[in-house]
Amino acid sequence: MRAADYPYPPDEFDAAAAGGPQGVHRRPRSTWSRTWPFLVVLIVLPALAYGAVTLASGGNPFTAGVSSSATAPATSPSASAEPSPSQTPSASATPTPTTPPADLGRAVVVQNATQRSGLATGARTVLVAAGFTKVTSGNFPGTAPSASVVYYPAPADAGTAAAVAAALKIATVTESATAAPDGVLAVLAADYQP
């Protein structure tokens, strides 16, 4: 359309500004103003999400990479072995017997004394995951005990039996060379919860 064919009279908007742009024009955005939103999405939001998940799981996001041994105070073996004069036991106190360490290579037998299928096999898997290397499983041939029990043949096996009981969450540990002549025996009764 030509200006002569335009049916309306000219007004102030028809006069072009000398040397300036006509209509709505914006200056091009800088590279920084175009990239900072992407940087926020790629860096800041994942860091905030990590912190939120760590806090929600009960951890501290500021010490997540620090091991607990680094924050624990160091004690020398001699300091913990010898009591201070204020901690010296009196003459009437009885000494505590020491439990031998667990032997993870000792033969351990897990026997199921219930009608639940696969109970001993599941307990065997728990013990293998705990580090025991010679674990077998089967069914208990005798009369089922009223509660789950771990038997061990000699005082030297007390630590191993205690470790088996702790891994299987069994409260009763008994020394019996007749019940367990060849190693540690864990009998799973009706009270056993895998």
pLDDT of residue 47: 87
Q: 111 Cβ partners below 8 Å, 6+ apart?
A: 120, 137, 138, 139, 140, 141, 185, 186, 187, 188
Write out residues in the chain with pLDDT < 50, as ranges: 67-73, 75-80, 90-91
pLDDT of residue 80: 47
pLDDT of residue 94: 54
Nearest to residue 141, comparing CAs of 161, 112, 108?
112
pLDDT of residue 86: 52
pLDDT of residue 72: 47
pLDDT of residue 64: 52
Q: What is the DSSP string of 31-91?
A: HHHHHHHHHIIIIIHHHHHHHHHHHHTT--TTSTTS-HHHHSPP--HHHHHSPPGGGPPPT
pLDDT of residue 143: 86
41-54 residue pLDDT tens: 888 888 888 888 88
